[in-house]
Amino acid sequence: MSTEKIIADWKQKKFKPVYWLEGEEAYYIDRVVEYAERSVLSEEEAGFNLTVFYGKDASWSDVVNACRRYPMFSDKQVVILKEAQQMRDLEKLESYIEHPLDSTIFVVAHKEKKIDGRSRMARLLKDKSVLVSTKKMYDNQLPEWTNELVAAKGYTISPKALMLLVDHIGNDLSRINNEVDKLLMNLGNRKNITEEDIELYVGVSKEYNVFELQNALLRKDMSKAMRIIQYFESNPKVAPIQLVLPSLYNFFSKAYILSSAQTKDEKAAASLIGVNPFFVKDYLVAVKNYGYEGVEKILLLLHQYNLKSIGINSPGTEDASLMKEMIMKMAM
């Protein structure tokens, strides 16, 4: 069952006794936990029937005893165990999970990892609970996910603003959601997020960012690329090398796929590499400007300078110096 389905069921007052939420993507787990904590019970009911534990500080016996209590002045009580992965003797919850009370809604947030699938607990959860396992979203899925998030809130976002936002934040769904909410609060009567909004409210320069560096490189505009690197050098928190190199590698690895496929059809190319058709022209331009061997050379340089950025074969070299040197080699 998805987290969206759980929340939809709860809105219709359809409850199961145990919900176990686990895995690497905290955003979905947090959404369910927040709804359980704030919206399942009324404010009056929650005063008597909401109990929240934290795994690091809670004992399994206190959690089980809370789950076995009966609700007061309500049909249901909610017991939430946050950060369950930090709880000692977690497996001792098995006795309750095997025989839960229908009047208790027990929600467990087990972040960062999953229960060992070979364990008795895992088999029990599969049989006796609503089990949701989350995993990190792939980077290439972030633009579509963010676009859908904005649309679900009743707004639109321009393609360039979308890429600026995603490239700046990276694979952090909770932070993307928070930044989108901040943007929407500042739009007034407008319904579209622009790149100017990203610059003003998120703090990403629309001229000096990873997205513009990528555009300069794919068009072989090395003077512009150098200006952007110099901006990064003066503002090191804007685009650390650990953000820049993976973003460029992601772009040129897709261009490498296209250079092998040798297709010029934009629709087919977009489908092949899994990108928004609006941006596929950039990949085709990169292929045209560099060719198969040129793109391959860039990927090797990116790998080489990624190693240098962590001190291998280049101890103590400043990030900006590494990027300038890399760009000069790309131009050769």
Query: Domain 139-202, CATH 3.30.360.10 — does that match?
Result: no
Every domain of the chain with CATH number 3.40.50.300 lies at: 3-134
The token pair at 102 is 């229908």
Q: Write down the pTM of the prediction.
A: 0.78
The token pair at 169 is 């934040």
Residue ranges of the chain with pLDDT lower than 70? none
Chain segment 102-142, per-residue pLDDT in tens: 999 999 999 988 998 889 999 999 999 999 999 998 888 89
pLDDT at res. 190: 95
> In sequence order, which residues have a C-beta less than 8 Å from that of residue 259 and are 6 or more positions away?
287, 290, 291, 292, 295
Every domain of the chain with CATH number 1.10.8.60 lies at: 139-202
| 217 burial via Cβ count (<10 Å: 0-12, 13-18, 19+) | buried
Chain segment 54-93, per-residue pLDDT in tens: 999 999 999 999 999 999 999 999 999 999 999 999 999 9
pLDDT at res. 218: 94
Q: 49, 40 in Cβ contact below 8 A?
A: no
- CATH topology classification for 210-331: Zinc Finger, Delta Prime; domain 3 (1.20.272)
Encode burial over 2-12: b for 16+ CB neighbours within 10 A, e otherwise.
ebeebbeebee
Tell me how far CA of residue 262 lies from CA of 89, 199, 258, in angstroms: 57, 36, 6
pLDDT at res. 94: 96
pLDDT at res. 275: 85
Rg (CA), the chain: 25
pLDDT at res. 175: 94
pLDDT at res. 145: 94
> In sequence order, which residues have a C-beta less than 8 Å from that of residue 216 and are 6 or more positions away?
222, 224, 225, 228
Every domain of the chain with CATH number 1.20.272.10 lies at: 210-331
Ranges of beta strands (E only) in the chain are 18-23, 50-54, 77-82, 104-111, 130-134, 156-157, 192-193
Domain 3-134 CATH superfamily: P-loop containing nucleotide triphosphate hydrolases (3.40.50.300)
The token pair at 262 is 């040798």
